[in-house]
Amino acid sequence: MLDKSFGNIKYLEKSLNASWLRNETISNNISNVNTPGYKRESVAFESILKASMQNIGIEGKVTHEKHLPIGNIGIDHIEPSISKDFNSKYRRDGNNVNIDVEMANLAKNTIQYNMMAQRVSGKLSKLKSIIRDGR
């Protein structure tokens, strides 16, 4: 029963980790806004998570670290990926960081992080209440 109520907490945990990584990446982009030739980085996670969730099926049990996973790989193996944007050029010196876009992305990411943190906090307080009351 608890698995149904709190099963998606792993998804929230992974999303929080990805959001934290995105925050660090955006901050790195902002700090290098005046570095000639710097290429902005971005974090991809939501598309990876969505693709994994659509791939619902039978998951094979891996009994040895060298075994290949069969079927759905599960949330434990989903990780965000960082990529550099080599295709665009924003300035003449090769830097492609737009400070206005980065600041907007930082604000959006902060709001998403706070929302997910509140969801996790709510779920944990619900679990705490269940344990305390015993009902």
pLDDT digit string, tens, across residues 72-87? 556 667 889 999 998 8
Instruction: Tell me what pLDDT residue 78 has.
Output: 82
Is the pTM for the entire model greater than 0.95? no
Helices 9-31 & 46-54 angle (0-180, nearest 10): 150
pLDDT at 52: 76
